[in-house]
Chain A
């Protein structure tokens, strides 16, 4: 995340007030030194929950908890509220949750920083980042309520307890509800206090399974998503974008489009210069109309001849050949422990294999959309975005607005994110069009737009080699990757840094083998690239975990036993990439053993069925999975069961962890079975779900088990960890079932 510099103040800088009879906790937990009073600027007018409090307790006993990070299905609306509710001392059943709008302020250094807490959803960071500050917000609220009761009863706060929304003085059997105390609590003076946090053994909410808070709203069709939002006077825009990478229009005839009833204007959107950072992705012509239908018809009526751009020779086939060609040469050595070549020369046995990963699309089910209302001195944005602060920054840059605080952003619930909505190109489009037409505008993408104009998960060819000595020790390992990095077109980033997004050298078996070399080849492609759920872990887990199985097979060794003896015992190894600062191979071995035990790894299977195992360390979380597969005579793959073990340290919501594990498994399976973005003539040819065939229920495993390791490690997230082990565990199971090794993804019909 591109979080501004922040530090957690030693003293709590939480502030609070009584608004409309309610206790509202609003001010920064993460402070950049701004005085408390000024930080409360966002204090709502009248409605206490509209402007971003963490906690609001109303006289009617209702408790509203604001969650800072956008909710896209990963369950943070519920899990983050649990952190607050635990310390507050309320029945979680009574808690309502509400998305906080983007809160920014100007820090002492004059730069824009968070007003409250960081508000991005990405990298599985919401729980790890907010674990302590949100509990402190809840604890402060509890202290205020207790102090209010103490003052009312002329007692010391030490004699009182707060539980389930009631403050009690046991000795005199007096009690008062939070609702009754709320107004008074807003006027209590506590001075500088450090809220005391509940110790783990006394948790009553954290660690218990809670259902998602917005379930009823979802099943009754309540408007929650960006696509559901409307503002008065809003026009609708649909954009015809150049389908060719970095292409432009040769000629445009707008007359038929403008003749459609309801069409008000056609606005040209310029693409960024080739190689420059994206604001919008593609050149396009926006048809602006008074209804969505008129805008859609208007777009159909545009007559545009496109120039095919600088990448018109690129195809999926040509890109693969380009990667293969690169691997025949010498790349950039990005990690070089010991002497790999000497180790291979001295090795008793050596192994080698290559693996291919296609481009894939995020394809969130809610197509991109955004509302922008650009006025002379004020901009309002409503959008499903994972990064509302980036939306703010990009709109400011695109409209050349100096005062970023004049741009407000309301993130809505997201109909899926998966990393696509870390990019805010669709928000910038809406802002550009709104400014051009002088009215609020909602930009709506279609599925075709979304598949052709995604920021795709990078595609690449991996080559792995390993050597073992006569005693069977792993003595050399190299991972060579030729891929089109997602880091290209980043501002001021040299090409020699592109590897950082695609290879994580501290990944297993890094630091566990003396002679270890990682080599990168930066491939050229016109396809826009970005972060896709668990980014490079999806590709790297597949190749490393498949290769280990290939080695084990050739050595006549059990694949699980091979992994366990390389991993070894519990110890912390350095891990410099995201998810560090350390990696504990013992914890990875622990989930492997647990998954193997619960999944019956090694048991005799019926004919035509087999089991495979794989593991991965993703962003601080350890997951291993055992996959049961049946492959039919036509090469059709059916996953019968997946049993997973998860170690993410302290768990907040076990039900949420299970849900993310199940979703990650299905995402991994769907992607491995059939998904690839196809490129021909410098453009994406997939236009809808017939050619980008997301998995349906018939292919989903009917049984998924999630076994959660209990320990005292600090919490990691769970949004991404369930995904990386699935594809290799599946490929390993397929090998056991058929003797065929899947080295190219997707599996498609290659087993037929």
Chain B
């Protein structure tokens, strides 16, 4: 099958039922996408499939076939960070940092659907787990990212 990751299309001839997460981390060596639970419960493995935030640990290769897959490594444009990444740095969100790539990918998708989310919309849409409990800053960073996106910071 053919698989397209971060704009590059490659052949994959392994198991069709292998989770996309293992392809990304072990085959493509894209280590930014993290393994947390293997059951779609924590969101550390969140990537974009055709622009939609998806938990790659429960997405088999057969589903990823033919789709556009984007990982955290391709979010910035060269040195220029995506506004969500920029907001994460401005608000100094991360502690251990392990969940944050997944959080960021989830928030990028959220802001595309809801450009200026209320706190209630954030609560309803963000279900990624942060074990360090960075939620206070994370919420501020979502609002800050919305502001940065709004002002055309990234265009």
List chain B residues, Cβ under 8 A from A200: none
Contact yes or no, A416 B96, CB < 8 A: yes
A203 interfacial contact with B, CB 8 Å: no
Contact yes or no, B39 A447, CB < 8 A: yes
List chain A residues, Cβ under 8 A from B98: 225, 364-366, 415-416
Contact yes or no, A366 B85, CB < 8 A: no
Mask for A396-421, Cβ within 8 A of B = 1, else 0? Answer: 00000000000000000111111000
Contact yes or no, A73 B96, CB < 8 A: yes
B129 interfacial contact with A, CB 8 Å: yes
| With A365-B131, A366-B34, A697-B122: A219-B104 Cβ-Cβ less than 8 Å | yes
Contact stretch, chosen from B48-56, B133-141, B146-154: B133-141
| With A220-B85, A221-B71: A292-B26 Cβ-Cβ less than 8 Å | yes
Contact stretch, chosen from A207-215, A501-509, A537-545: A207-215
List chain A residues, Cβ under 8 A from B36: 365-367, 447
Contact yes or no, A219 B134, CB < 8 A: no
CB-nearest residue of chain A to B23: A293
How many A-B pairs with Cβ below 8 Å?
182
> How would you classify the secondary structure of chain B's contact residues: helix, strand, loop or mixed?
loop
Contact yes or no, A218 B37, CB < 8 A: no
| With A221-B33, A697-B126: A212-B139 Cβ-Cβ less than 8 Å | no
Mask for A673-714, Cβ within 8 A of B = 1, else 0? Answer: 000000000000000111000111110111110000000000
Contact yes or no, A666 B94, CB < 8 A: no
List chain A residues, Cβ under 8 A from B131: 363-365, 416, 418, 694
Q: Which of A230, A417, A448, A662 contacts B136 (CB 8 A)?
A: A662
Number of A residues contacting the other chain (C-beta, 8 Å)? 61
Number of B residues contacting the other chain (C-beta, 8 Å)? 56
| With A655-B92, A696-B128, A696-B129: A221-B38 Cβ-Cβ less than 8 Å | no
Bound-state Cα–Cα, A73 to B93, Å: 11
B119 interfacial contact with A, CB 8 Å: yes
A74 interfacial contact with B, CB 8 Å: yes
Contact yes or no, A659 B101, CB < 8 A: no
List chain A residues, Cβ under 8 A from B134: 659, 662-663, 666
CB-nearest residue of chain B to A450: B37
Contact yes or no, B92 A215, CB < 8 A: yes
A667 interfacial contact with B, CB 8 Å: yes
CB-nearest residue of chain B to A701: B136
Mask for B29-65, Cβ within 8 A of A = 1, else 0? Answer: 1111111111101101000000000000000000000
A291 interfacial contact with B, CB 8 Å: yes
Bound-state Cα–Cα, A189 to B110, Å: 60
CB-nearest residue of chain A to B71: A221
Contact yes or no, B133 A365, CB < 8 A: no
| With A215-B94, A222-B32, A292-B22: A700-B73 Cβ-Cβ less than 8 Å | no
Mask for B87-120, Cβ within 8 A of A = 1, else 0? Answer: 0110010111111110010000000000000010
B72 interfacial contact with A, CB 8 Å: yes
Contact yes or no, A219 B94, CB < 8 A: yes
| With A212-B94, A694-B129: A365-B34 Cβ-Cβ less than 8 Å | yes
A250 interfacial contact with B, CB 8 Å: no
The distance from the CB of B106 to the nearest CB of chain A, in whole angstroms, is: 10
The distance from the CB of B125 to the nearest CB of chain A, in whole angstroms, is: 9
The distance from the CB of B127 to the nearest CB of chain A, in whole angstroms, is: 5
The distance from the CB of A626 to the nearest CB of chain B, in whole angstroms, is: 16
| With A219-B85, A220-B32: A689-B97 Cβ-Cβ less than 8 Å | no
Contact yes or no, B89 A688, CB < 8 A: no
CB-nearest residue of chain B to A214: B97
Contact yes or no, A293 B26, CB < 8 A: yes
List 15 A-B residue pairs with CB atoms under 8 Å apart, sorted by A's residue number.
A72-B96, A212-B94, A215-B89, A219-B85, A220-B76, A293-B18, A363-B131, A365-B96, A414-B96, A416-B96, A667-B133, A688-B38, A695-B133, A697-B126, A698-B123
Question: Which residues on A are within 8 Å of B, measured CB to CB?
Answer: 72-75, 211-212, 214-216, 218-225, 227-228, 230, 291-293, 363-367, 413-418, 446-448, 655, 659-660, 662-667, 669-670, 688-690, 694-698, 700-704
Given contact pairs A216-B89, A366-B36, enumerate 7 new A-B contacts (beta carbons under 8 Å): A215-B94, A291-B22, A293-B15, A293-B22, A365-B36, A416-B96, A664-B133
